[in-house]
Amino acid sequence: MRRILTAVVLVPLLWVVIKWAPPWAFAGLFAAGIAGGVLEAYGLVARRGHRPFRALGLLAGASIAWAFSGLWPFGGPEPLLGPLAPVVAVGLLAPVAALWTRPDPPAMLDAAISTLFPVVAVALPLGYLIGLRMLPGETGADLLLLLLVCVTFGDTAAYYVGSVLGRHRLAPRLSPKKSWEGAIGGIAGSLLGALLAHAWFFQRLPLGHAVALGVLLGSTGIVGDLAESMVKRACDAKDSSRLLPGHGGILDRTDSLIVSAPVLYYYFRLFLSR
């Protein structure tokens, strides 16, 4: 019941924010969410004894999110910086900070790598959610809504199909409850979501591309889900946090987007923006 209540609150809120919020407000809200995901990732790696520079990573994560917004100093005809600039900065600053604050080379390397990992694996890919929204006209908002519809339908179908029909384990070392039957159901659910989006609010998306994106986003969503399961299992954690009642943390709700968001962004750039 808590899962349903949380979803009832979040889904309409996301719709309003994506469709109607001004760019700076949208970027700021999602930057806060991405920073929260980065913080959860640091909490997970800390369970394994790592000592990252959290403040540095959080600043980099928020900067990546803002960079995707295209707002100053990242926007304009000749932007001063791009989304990779914060990644490069933390990649340079973390080893320097480790040299002065960690007692030996293994601890220095550990601090540098554990600081960079959440920035590259969480903040950068989730930044593409903002990159999608900032595409010109209604296209950006519709693409982002398409992504959320596909992921939501895919996750729901995978859960229920897997619960009823699941017999063959998909990745037992990562997530014993996930099955091939559930994965197929998830891809079918994502395809259904893409077709619904095409008929509902994205009629200008060609039907063939809607079908291709439904299958592609369903598949990449599963990959992202398994990737987060790998991190949680390695860190001996059930959820990334307890922020959302019945849903776990930010990473538990966005794991399917970590791979899907960049894939959709570049699919648009390669096939739909010409």
Tens digits of per-residue pLDDT, 16-54? 889 888 888 888 888 899 999 999 999 999 999 999 999
Question: For residue 8, what pLDDT is reported?
Answer: 60
For position 82, what pLDDT does the model report? 82
Within 10 A of 265 (CB to CB), how many other CB atoms are there?
22
Mean pLDDT of the 199-219 span: 96
Type and span of the H or E element at 179 = strand 175-179
Nearest to 191 by CA among 144, 153, 139, 240: 153
Token digits for 241?
A: 């946090």
Average pLDDT over residues 167-179: 90
Q: Match 């309409």 to its residue by tokens.
A: 12
Burial 222-257 (b: 16+ CB within 10 A, else e): bebbbbbbebbeebebeebbebbeebbbbbbbbbbb
